[in-house]
Amino acid sequence: MAGGGSFAPPALCRKPREAAISHSPSAIVTHSSSSPAPAVSFVNVSRHFGEVKAVDGVSLDINDGEFFSLLGPSGSGKTTCLRLVAGFEQPTAGSIQLHGEEVANLPPYERDVNTVFQDYALFPHMTVGENVAYGLMIKKVPKPERDKRLGEMLELVRLPGLAGRRPSQLSGGQRQRVALARALINHPRVLLLDEPLGALDLKLRQQMQIELKAIQRQVRITFVFVTHDQEEALTMSDRLAVFNLGKIEQIGSPAEVYEHPATAFVAGFVGVSNLIRGEIAQAITGSAQTFSIRPEKIQLRDLGQPVSGDEYSVEGRIRDVIYLGMHTRYLVELSGGSDLTVVEQNLRTTSMDVLAARGRAVRLVWQKAHVRPVGN
């Protein structure tokens, strides 16, 4: 069990550009020696709703103190997994353990986990203070102690002085913080977050990502974070699991998952990937094995320019140019008819330059080392 993910440490941060993408270079989490059992452990867990296999044979270990994300499109089973940990759902088959204790048949109120809900689920008939202190009130913690911890929590989520307000008087971002405080005040051993930032606007979301990460470091609680936003998962997680159709496609650090996608699905879902298969793959690499190449790894060169031995290349015509300010996305049509996406930073080019490139014949070149053969 120790170590959780048995993935070899990847070669990290080979290029400065990659470092900008994965903020979390500490890829493999070194588990703390005090707690040998994983915080959360799924062994062959399934949850079926009639014919629908929402979760289908999932095995997973989440280490103590880890920030772990469950990433996947809607309907992939990630939220059901979270609800299985919380106890809102019971598994159809398999074993779920929290710190080594079997919990598959324990109700939510007997599990040492707390949840931040997607819709925040704040009690509308209570004040902010009553909401946050709800768990302590249920546990019959004496009032002075309750008030003390309430004050600390509101301080932690930077909402001091709002204890008397009603949830309906708060903004979306403030409600989100109240929901977080209400869960954290109980000092759970695992905190479950179900797309907690989904309802916030982009700026606020990015700010909350940083804050959540800081809070996690401060309280040292295992965070299990459900999201469909791959950028969010890459930014925040120590490790993540990519879900598709009720199964886990890959578990690993953000850098691993981004740079070594295990399947075509992961390559397509985490970041943008060009998948090249069949005859075109044959023509480029000499093998019909499908491979993926990231748009930012591809260079655009003029037709005449040389190609070195450690590079692959293919010719095409720029079909469309999308100017995005910081960078430009080119859609390049290959002779075989399929499109490749290429992203280049606008280091020296202006919008006039890049838009003029439409229709131009080009040579696409990338390092052989950046090619990832993918299964499926």
Partner 1 sequence: MATSSPTRKSLWHRLSTFFYLRPGLTLAAMLAAPLLWLGVVYVGSLFALLLQSFFRLDDFTGQVVRRFTLYTYSQLFTAANIDIMIRTSGMAAAVTLACALVAFPVAYYMARHAEGRAKAALYLAVLLPLWSSYLVRVYAWKLILAKEGIVSWFISQLRLDWALDRILQLPVIGGPSLSVSMLGMWLVFVYVWLPYMILPIQAALERVPQSLIDASGDLGARPAETFRKVILPLAFPGVVAGSIFTFSLTLGDFIIPGTIGNSSYFLGQAVLSHQGTAGNVPMAAALTAVPMVIMAVYLIIAKKLGAFEAL
Residue ranges in contact with partner 1 by CB under 8 A: 86-88, 107-109, 113-115, 117-119, 121, 123-125, 134-135, 138-139, 182-183, 186
- Rounded Cα distance between 33 and 10, Å, is 23
Q: Are 250 and 237 in contact (CB under 8 A)?
A: no
Q: Considering beta carbons, is residue 77 or 87 the nearer one to partner 1?
A: 87
Neighbour-count burial for 164-182, b at 16+ CB within 10 Å, e otherwise: ebebeebeebbbbbbbbbb
Q: Considering beta carbons, is residue 34 or 109 the nearer one to partner 1?
A: 109
* Amino acid present at 319: R
Q: Which tokens belong to 267?
A: 């390559």
Residue 360 phi, psi dihedral angles, 5° rounding = -75, 145
Minimum distance, C-beta of residue 140 to partner 1, in the bound complex (Å): 10
Q: Which tokens belong to 315?
A: 């010719």
Q: Considering beta carbons, is residue 116 or 354 the nearer one to partner 1?
A: 116
- Rounded Cα distance between 311 and 313, Å, is 7
Sheet holding 40-49, edge to edge: 52-62, 40-49, 93-98, 101-102
Q: Which tokens belong to 222?
A: 């295992």
Helix axes 143-156, 202-219, angle to 10 degrees: 130
- Rounded Cα distance between 216 and 306, Å, is 50
